[in-house]
Amino acid sequence: MKELDFINIIKEQIGTEFIGDDCAYLKDLGIVITQDSLVEDIHFKKEWYTPYELGYKSVAVNISDVIASGAEPKYITVALSLPNDINNYFIKDFYIGAKDALYGAQIVGGDITGSSDKIFISIAAIGTDKGRKISSRASAKSGYSIIVNKNSVNDFGKSSLGLDQLLRGIKKSDVIEIHKKPILDYDFAKMIASKIESEYAMMDTSDGLADALFKIAESSQVSIVIDDINGCFGAEDYKIVAAVPKEFLKSLSNYYVLGEVVEKNDFIIKIGEKEFRSYKDLNLYDHFGGKYER
């Protein structure tokens, strides 16, 4: 998978201290920081999205990384590269949508430039660790429970169904709305990060539930076993999955236990009766091998 190959090359060049999680935790500053880009005809098609929806999703996907780290979202910067046919109404509606996805953060600046013929969006998000314990995908331990928000357990895979409908020419449905305007597990992530004292692992499912679990298991040098639920191999769900000590569950509410972390086995993750020994076995979207993000 080219994306993972590229990431490994980057690690070799700049080191691994801050590379591994979706947010870099700058402990000396008390912040986490992340950056995501959306490219027209790779992550979205302009005819699928209103400017409002595009602004909303562009910010939401970055806020999702911040809350998945355990941090409180604080600041956003927005960089736009736009073709000549973009008008003032696009900019206004884009920023109205962006403001509606802030989850308490503020937009504090950015950049705007021209582009040849495509829209390029790059968002940086900063969160604070004040009153929170920051997660790491390398902190799952044998005996930990794998949990998700009880209200979200039936939502996995719906965003991918929405994308499939858009690709088939369907313009409106409930799952398309979920794909274009994700609702984040903000309160669930906050509850975990503000109460937990132990080391723990937490990620969003931006590349799918199976992807997140595989990355947690691999980074933590453990294996993970979960029940086979609908939507494990979808993407762009932007829901929270966490590996936490079993005793910590007494402090939580509204959670659903998917499975558990076990000692490192000859598989990385096991979903139902099927074992996965390499990332390639998951057969997920390749950022450098597919036409649209999914």
pLDDT digit string, tens, across residues 64-94: 999 999 999 999 999 999 999 999 999 999 9
**Do 62 and 160 share a domain, yes or no?**
no
Predicted pLDDT of residue 219: 94
Q: What is the pLDDT of residues 245-267, one digit of tens each?
A: 999 999 999 999 999 999 999 99
> Directed axis angle between helix 186-195 and helix 51-69, to 10°?
20
Residue 293 has pLDDT above 60, yes or no: no
Higher pLDDT, 7 or 115: 115
Residue 15 has pLDDT above 70, yes or no: no
133 within some domain:
no
2 within some domain:
no
Residue (of 114, 23, 29) closest to 71 by Cα position = 23
Cα–Cα dist 232/227, whole Å: 10
Q: What is the CATH number of the domain that holds 106?
A: 3.30.1330.10
Residue 3 has pLDDT above 80, yes or no: no
Cα–Cα dist 54/45, whole Å: 10
Residue 193's domain spans which residues? 145-282
Q: What is the mean pLDDT of residues 142-149?
A: 98
Predicted pLDDT of residue 291: 44
Predicted pLDDT of residue 17: 62
**Do 161 and 278 share a domain, yes or no?**
yes
Q: What is the mean pLDDT of residues 46-50?
A: 94
Predicted pLDDT of residue 22: 84
Name the DSSP class of 153.
T
Residue 284 has pLDDT above 70, yes or no: no
Which of 76, 100, 128 lies at the terminal end of a domain, its last residue? 128
pLDDT band at 214 (very low <50, low <70, confident <90, very high): very high
Name the DSSP class of 171.
-
Higher pLDDT, 11 or 43: 43
186 within some domain:
yes
Least confident interval from 101-105, 119-123, 222-226, 284-288: 284-288
- Strand ranges of the sheet holding 72-82, from the earlier edge strand across to the other edge: 24-26, 31-39, 120-128, 72-82, 106-114
Using a 10 angstrom Cβ sphere, with 0-12 exposed, 13-18 middle and 19 or more buried, the burial of residue 163 is buried
Q: Which residues contact 127 (CB under 8 A, 6 or more apart)?
A: 23, 31, 32, 33, 66, 67, 69, 71, 72, 73, 74, 105
Whole-number average pLDDT of the chain:
92
Q: Which residues contact 9 (CB under 8 A, 6 or more apart)?
A: none
**Do 185 and 80 share a domain, yes or no?**
no
Supply the pTM of this predicted model: 0.91
**Do 177 and 107 share a domain, yes or no?**
no
Cα–Cα dist 285/294, whole Å: 6
Helix locations, the chain, DSSP H: 2-14, 51-69, 88-100, 158-167, 174-180, 186-195, 209-220
pLDDT band at 20 (very low <50, low <70, confident <90, very high): low
Q: What percentage of the chain exceeds 90 in pLDDT?
A: 85
Number of domains observed in the structure of the chain: 2
Give the dihedral sign, CA 150/154/156/160: negative
pLDDT band at 224 (very low <50, low <70, confident <90, very high): very high
**Do 188 and 252 share a domain, yes or no?**
yes
Q: What is the mean pLDDT of residues 168-182?
A: 96
Predicted pLDDT of residue 7: 63
* Beta strands 255-262 and 223-226, pairing class: antiparallel
**Do 261 and 186 share a domain, yes or no?**
yes
Q: What is the mean pLDDT of residues 271-290?
A: 77
